[in-house]
Structure 1
Amino acid sequence: MQKEINKVELRNLAFEDYKQLKNSMIKSYPEMADSYWKPDEIEKLLAIFPEGQLVILVDDVVVGSALSLIVDEKRIDKKHTYLEILGNYTFSTHNPEGDVLYGIDVFIHPDYRGLRLGRRLYDARKELCEQLNLKSIVFAGRIPNYGQYAKKWSPKKYIEKVKHKELHDPVLSFQLSNDFHVLRVIKNYLEGDEDSKEFAVLLEWNNIYYDESPKLINLDKSVIRLGLIQWQMRSLSNIEALFEQSEFFIDVVSGYNSDFALFPELFIAPLMADYNHLTEAEAIRELARYTDSIRKKFQEFAISYNINIITGSMPLLENGNLYNVGFLCKRDGTSEMYTKIHVTPNEVHHWGMKGGSEIKTFDTDCGKIGIMICYDVEFPELSRIMANEGMNILFVPFLTDTQNAYTRVKHCSQARAIENECYVAIAGCVGNLPKVNNMDIQYAQAAVFTPSDFAFPSNGIKAEATPNTEMTLIVDVNLDLLKELHEHGSVRILKDRRTDLYDIKKIEK
């Protein structure tokens, strides 16, 4: 990626986007430079089916699009050409009462490929298909590499080679990886498509939630998947090695469709090995030099892997003061900083750290969350303020050297889950780090804790990792259960507080 991305947005196409849409399409199809959508065609699509036309923007510039129609299933049972499915660009084939979402175009500007933005467009199409209660998504995909093999293989043979990963096709390989299956090959589909020899592959994705008796589908996401990373401290030669190891874990938890990845507190500490000849206070200030680069890289990972990343924590030097901070890198490309408010005596004595002064919650595409770094979870007032602001999930990146230190974090986290009727996810570092002063041993056990009532595990533990072993923990939490608990639980802790006698509130500065 050539420059830092500040924001990624996926939304419906507006006619005012046309100029940027055209520019990106021309860049995407250099071999068909004159085949871009014309203004009147876009205007028609927006008039007949506005919700089916999607764009993805990077820093407010359109860099990709997915366009579609609704058609009758019988149309795809017949052999057809691209012009026929478009009604020769009149879009007369669109039927609001049809049962199939037909994709008529998808593209991503070449400068923004590799960030999995195309996958986001496909995921948005799938959500639309489910929301509209349509049977499936169908489209005819080009096979642009087929021309290189047309003399020795039939399209059927070529498709089999791609399916078995013996060959890579930039279009077909992508579609198959997105759960589309091949219906049949269509001849003479797109006139002038020499790369594909005018063949296309009719592909389909089935909506498993389709109901022939249409009903409203709950559009709010209630089940959130958490990916907790129990990080092994190891020697790292440079920051690139840190990024490589981090990306491995992000790839793993993203591969399981996690909504969040949680890293531990100060997991970047191995980079201090180069400064072990300095005092501990000097060494950690050298480590702070990496913080901005790490934030930028994790923002890129959040976009590329379509996941919200909580970066654990790292030192930040600001106006001569040293803080322990982390970043919530959202999958839309934005980021927000959080700061450890209560620093431990050890952090003050060895590093000269100071505590932050802002208590806040964060809005995400999975609802409102809170983040507290390690020692902060031992102060119940903070999480109560967050709960009052609507927090459903509290994330706690931590770093503990001994089992009794971990016990404090664990049991306080469980208490926070019970008293605030929320989920609490914790993740820490494990192993030894002999070449870094004041960071030599670690003890951790990642876990997700729940409230204590009938809908939840009887011990209040949704899942736990193996202690002191590098691993990931993938856990689903259901926000609907929290809503039910708040209103109809055996006890209703948030509702039954005697605010006529006591209350907790922030001090406005």
Structure 2
Amino acid sequence: MRKKLIVYLDRKPIEIVIRNYTLADIEGMIDIQRASFPPPFPSELWWNEEQLREHVTRFPEGAICAEMNGRLIGSMTALRVSESQLEGSHTWEQVTGAGYIRNHDPNGTTLYVVDLCVVPDMRKAGIGKWLMQSMYEVVVHSRLSRLLGGGRMPGYHLHADSVSAEDYLTGVTTGEYNDPVISFLLRCGRMPVGVMPHYLEDEESCNYAALMEWKNPFYNE
């Protein structure tokens, strides 16, 4: 994948490129994490070189990045999984192989999102939405049934004493609550299919995640 786009930041048009990241981009990919998750966020939770090598060599189609003037400003990673891998409840660590995607199934019909990240100074330019749209294109091109992934619910801790995680998610879809992550995913066309407890250690989300999907409108079994 490689395509050029014009995005707007503070009303100024900026040309970016969305493409597959490669082994040559490893340092740039880690720089995205470094900028997005500065201390006190533990650096050992950033992507490491071994994980990135697995992404690029095991499933390069699911490894995409956004670049501006030679600088990487965002990335999105996914793997293919089978329906059997999604039976029952799962955690991020289980379904992504702890981020190493060694459980990638070349015959899987679901594209599962591992990570989406944009550097702070470019987050108002719509980069995340364009990365998501590009991953939808991977779904269509690969003739997969859907894109799926767990979305953080960072606003949930503000309401956890009074509503369940399921009711909070419903409230976001009806406009009762606004959640920075779930509302973004809804604007990208993702739809909720359920709530996963103990998905990721995440105090703001009370360790819950909303399972959100985008169905391929062209999929034919």
Mapped to 2, the partners of 1:33 and 1:118 lie a distance apart of 23
Structure 1 length as normaliser, TM-score? 0.40
Say whether the 8 Å CA contact 2:55–2:100 is kept in structure 1: no
Q: Aligned to 2:161, what secondary structure does the other structure show?
A: coil
Residues 1:6 and 1:87: Cα distance change in structure 2 (over 3 Å): closer
Aligned-partner residue type, residue 206 of structure 1: K
Mapped to 1, the partners of 2:114 and 2:206 lie a distance apart of 19
CA RMSD, Structure 1 to Structure 2 (Å): 1.8
- 1:190 Cα deviation after fit: 0.7
Alignment partner for residue 183 of structure 2, among 173, 178, 185? 173
Q: Aligned to 2:134, what secondary structure does the other structure show?
A: helix
Mapped to 2, the partners of 1:77 and 1:172 lie a distance apart of 23
- 1:180 Cα deviation after fit: 1.2
Say whether the 8 Å CA contact 1:5–1:59 is kept in structure 2: no
Alignment partner for residue 200 of structure 1, among 209, 214, 219? 209
Mapped to 1, the partners of 2:14 and 2:109 lie a distance apart of 38
Say whether the 8 Å CA contact 2:90–2:199 is kept in structure 1: yes
Mapped to 1, the partners of 2:151 and 2:37 lie a distance apart of 14
Deviations 1:263-308 (A, max 9, x none): xxxxxxxxxxxxxxxxxxxxxxxxxxxxxxxxxxxxxxxxxxxxxx
Deviations 1:370-407 (A, max 9, x none): xxxxxxxxxxxxxxxxxxxxxxxxxxxxxxxxxxxxxx
Mapped to 2, the partners of 1:119 and 1:2 lie a distance apart of 17
Mapped to 1, the partners of 2:55 and 2:196 lie a distance apart of 25
Q: Aligned to 2:180, what secondary structure does the other structure show?
A: coil
Partner of 2:173: 163
Aligned-partner residue type, residue 88 of structure 1: A
Residues 1:208 and 1:46: Cα distance change in structure 2 (over 3 Å): same
Mapped to 2, the partners of 1:157 and 1:50 lie a distance apart of 37
Partner of 1:67: 77
- 1:105-144 to structure 2, matched below 5 A, reads 105-144=115-154
Partner of 1:18: 26
Mapped to 1, the partners of 2:10 and 2:126 lie a distance apart of 16
**Structure with the greater alpha carbon radius of gyration:** 1
More strand by share: 2
Partner of 2:101: 91
Deviations 1:313-348 (A, max 9, x none): xxxxxxxxxxxxxxxxxxxxxxxxxxxxxxxxxxxx
Mapped to 1, the partners of 2:145 and 2:12 lie a distance apart of 40
Residues 1:9 and 1:29: Cα distance change in structure 2 (over 3 Å): same
Alignment partner for residue 32 of structure 1, among 31, 37, 41? 41
Say whether the 8 Å CA contact 1:64–1:109 is kept in structure 2: yes
Mapped to 1, the partners of 2:157 and 2:28 lie a distance apart of 31
- 1:89 Cα deviation after fit: 4.1
Deviations 1:460-497 (A, max 9, x none): xxxxxxxxxxxxxxxxxxxxxxxxxxxxxxxxxxxxxx
Partner of 1:499: none
What is the number of equivalent residue pairs in this alignment?
211
Question: Which consecutive residues of structure 2, in runs of 5 or more, have no partner in the other structure?
Answer: 1-8
Deviations 1:31-83 (A, max 9, x none): 63421110011001111101110000122110100000000022223211111
Mapped to 2, the partners of 1:41 and 1:29 lie a distance apart of 17
Partner of 1:7: 15
Say whether the 8 Å CA contact 1:180–1:203 is kept in structure 2: yes
Partner of 1:428: none
Say whether the 8 Å CA contact 2:99–2:114 is kept in structure 1: no
Partner of 1:233: none
Q: Aligned to 1:65, what secondary structure does the other structure show?
A: strand
Quick one: percent identity of the two aligned structures? 28
Partner of 2:4: none
Partner of 1:210: 219
- 1:61-460 to structure 2, matched below 5 A, reads 61-191=71-201, 193-212=202-221
Question: Which consecutive residues of structure 1, in runs of 5 or more, have no partner in the other structure?
Answer: 213-509
Aligned-partner residue type, residue 198 of structure 1: N
Mapped to 1, the partners of 2:81 and 2:72 lie a distance apart of 27
